[in-house]
Amino acid sequence: MPIRAEAPQDAARTVALAARNGIMRGGSAAPAGIQAMAPQPLAGLKVLEVGQAVAAPLAGVILAELGAEVIKVEKPEGGDDARLWGPPWVGETGLTFHAYNRGKRGVTLDLKSAADVARLQALARDADILIQNLRPGVVEQLGIGPEAMLAAHPRLIYCSIWAFGYAGPLRLAPGFDPLLQAYGAMLSVTGGPDDPPTFAGAAINDKATAMWCVIGALAALRQRDATGQGCLIDTSLFESAVAWVETPLNGYLASGTVPARHGTGSANLVPYQVFETADRPICVAAGNQRLWVKFAGAAGHPEWAEDARFRTGRDRTANRAALVDAIRPVLRAQSRDHWMAAFGAAGVPCAPVNDLAELAATPQLAAMDLLREVPGTGLRVVGLPVSFDRVRPHPRAAAPALGQDNAAVLGDGIPAVTKPR
């Protein structure tokens, strides 16, 4: 669908909302003063992140970018394993680490040492939230599990991120995102019917679990306002995976039939998928009866809407193959730009199938001001997908060097580790 320019009244409202808060609408490279005035709704919260890889660090970076003070705790030898996840590399550290740890303070603690466990306990005395995703069972062995920490710090919100969850035969099993895509049946509903098992292109279980962790923590803080008590929040990659397949799983539970894979298509709606054109693919989404009639007309075949095989949504799903076979040669006869214009004019939702370079160059990405520059690094990363009065939060600092804030945070002269290993 053609990109609509921001209407004058929308632009005026955006400026007014920002001005009301004393904030200019920032770009990805906003000056330091504007960054300081960016939305910080969680300012004053203290968060401890005993995390690694993606899920816990992403939860931490969400809270940090919303204004919380987030202290990342890493092991002295090498730190978070994601420091070595590359390419691309930024110096000796992988870009993944920089993206998921920006805006945090960093300390190193050897949690096998009683002295360093005592230091963590000291940090927790005035902390609001603790997030951990260590291997299941490890926090209990170290004496920093939820029971011990909540007994010592009853106002703490303790967030545990698991692979498979806190109960069941796989409670202590480790896991990474692709394992949970596999175990959680996500591969069985992704791709075409004859394709090999197909992963999603992003670590969607890690990311969803991070978001559920943050949602749970913020709800628990609201509860603490009323009760004065903290609590334990549990979430897992497994639960996130099951949530992603909610619709096909519910369908199976209702019908007893394992759903087929439909490639880019939907089990419930047709046409609702990618089609090839004369040059580049296009995605169309005729998501209701009105849009189906408009689609048929814009495609030059209004008779499709009256064909008994295709008249209703139930008819179209029952005769999916016949309808898709009818549409394919029609769309292949013209270019993508032709169909974008035709469907756009008719009000049929459609989109080009962009690659990452095309996405990065879209006017829509620029208009939404979604790319952020990490201070002091020259790196541009994707910012939080939320705005406050039309202003997006900014990263407040780069990701920490290993142990860079030991002396300032721990207060006992523990030196920084000068080189990530």
List the helix and strand counts (H, then E) for the chain.
Answer: 17, 13
Cα 245 to its chain centre, rounded Å, is 16
Q: Over 80: is that where the pLDDT of 20 sits?
A: no
One domain, residues 87 and 134: yes
Residues pairing with 344 in the sheet = none
Task: Assess if residue 268 is contained within a domain.
Answer: no
Task: Assess if residue 275 is contained within a domain.
Answer: no
pLDDT given at position 333:
98
Distance CA 48, CA 54 (A): 15
Q: Over 80: is that where the pLDDT of 337 sits?
A: yes
One domain, residues 236 and 329: no
Mean per-residue pLDDT for 372-390? 93
Task: Assess if residue 263 is contained within a domain.
Answer: no
pLDDT given at position 39:
87
**3-state percent helix, strand, coil for the chain, nearest multiple of 5:** 40, 15, 45
Task: Assess if residue 341 is contained within a domain.
Answer: yes
Helix H or strand E segment including 352: strand 350-352
Q: How confident is the model over 190-223, as pLDDT tens digits?
A: 999 999 998 998 999 999 999 999 999 999 999 9
One domain, residues 12 and 65: yes
Task: Assess if residue 265 is contained within a domain.
Answer: no
One domain, residues 131 and 207: yes
pLDDT given at position 375:
92
Task: Assess if residue 18 is contained within a domain.
Answer: yes
One domain, residues 216 and 344: no
Mean per-residue pLDDT for 109-120? 96
One domain, residues 101 and 131: yes
Mean per-residue pLDDT for 1-8? 41
Task: Assess if residue 378 is contained within a domain.
Answer: yes
One domain, residues 140 and 231: yes
Q: How confident is the model over 60-103, as pLDDT tens digits?
A: 999 999 999 999 999 999 999 999 999 999 989 999 999 999 99
One domain, residues 64 and 143: yes
Q: How confident is the model at residue 421 (pLDDT cuts 50, 70, 90)?
A: very low
CATH number at residue 227: 3.40.50.10540
Task: Assess if residue 345 is contained within a domain.
Answer: yes
One domain, residues 190 and 312: no
- Mean residue pLDDT of the chain comes to 90
Query: What contacts 287, CB < 8 A, 6 or more positions away?
Result: 269, 272, 349
Count the domains in the chain. 2
pLDDT given at position 48:
98
Q: How confident is the model over 143-169, as pLDDT tens digits?
A: 999 999 999 999 999 999 999 999 999
Distance CA 281, CA 248 (A): 26
Mean per-residue pLDDT for 173-187? 95
One domain, residues 189 and 290: no
One domain, residues 290 and 348: yes
CATH number at residue 319: 3.30.1540.10
Higher pLDDT, 416 or 325: 325
Mean per-residue pLDDT for 117-122? 96
Mean per-residue pLDDT for 104-122? 96
Q: Over 70: is that where the pLDDT of 7 sits?
A: no
Domain that holds residue 190: 8-244+370-410
One domain, residues 193 and 239: yes
Q: How confident is the model over 290-314, as pLDDT tens digits?
A: 999 999 999 999 999 999 999 999 9
pTM, two decimal places = 0.87
Runs of H (alpha helix) within 309-386: 313-318, 320-332, 336-346, 356-360, 363-367
